Homo-oligomer: A and B are copies of this chain.
Amino acid sequence: MTDGNTTLKLDDFLPYRLSIASNRVSSAIATAYQALFGLRIPEWRLVAVIAEGQGMTQQALGAATRMDKVTVSRAAIALVERGLIARRPNPDDQRSHLLSLTPAGQDLYESVAPKALELEARIFAGFGAKELAAFRAVLDRLEASAAALDPE
């Protein structure tokens, strides 16, 4: 070491670790979904949320999935094209549609969901319940505090 100043080991920098870990996990999941169901992450997220609450607008879906409205729009179009979701006109607002799963979409969801849980279990295997709960809690607070800093 030739410098006598502030040093920052990248490996000790938490935002970096977080980013790496998250990218690895996302990539593993994306690969699996793509291979198993031909779904990309935004599409799968939409399916999951619509399955819990049929008849939502894209607006609501964007809020629920934290995705941009553009991303939601594209995913929705792709899912309609594949016959996995259907759009009903919204009687309260001509501009928007209410999205719900078609029978095919419902079927897909029912095979995707267990697979998702299994994948999650495999990735998070070897962690204790308390450990995971703590991890989740940190993520939640982190999400809030980072959002507060970034006025985007």
Give A residues with C-beta under 8 Å from B: 3, 5-10, 13-29, 31-32, 45, 48-49, 51-52, 64-66, 110, 113-114, 116-117, 119-120, 122-127, 131-132, 134-136, 138-143, 145-147, 149-150, 152
* Contact assessment for A142 and B123 in the assembled complex, using a CB-CB cutoff below 8 Å: yes
Residue in contact with A117 in the complex, picked from B8, B18, B113, CB distance below 8 Å: B8
This chain's copy number in the assembly: 2
- A120-B14 contact, Cβ under 8 Å, with A28-B150, A113-B7: yes
- In Å, the complex CA distance between A5 and B114 comes to 10
Q: Which residues of B contact A134 (CB under 8 A)?
A: 131, 134-135
* Contact assessment for B24 and A117 in the assembled complex, using a CB-CB cutoff below 8 Å: no
Residue in contact with A24 in the complex, picked from B13, B120, B150, CB distance below 8 Å: B150
* Contact assessment for B17 and A25 in the assembled complex, using a CB-CB cutoff below 8 Å: no
Q: Which residues of B contact A23 (CB under 8 A)?
A: 22
Which 3 residue pairs across A and B have the least CB separation, nearest first? A22-B22, A28-B150, A24-B146
Can you list 9 A-B contacts with CB-CB less than 8 angstroms, sorted by A residue number? A8-B117, A14-B132, A15-B29, A15-B119, A18-B21, A18-B139, A21-B143, A134-B135, A135-B138
- In Å, the complex CA distance between A21 and B48 comes to 19
* Contact assessment for B127 and A13 in the assembled complex, using a CB-CB cutoff below 8 Å: no
Q: How far is the CB of A4 from chain B (nearest CB, A)?
A: 11
- In Å, the complex CA distance between A149 and B123 comes to 8
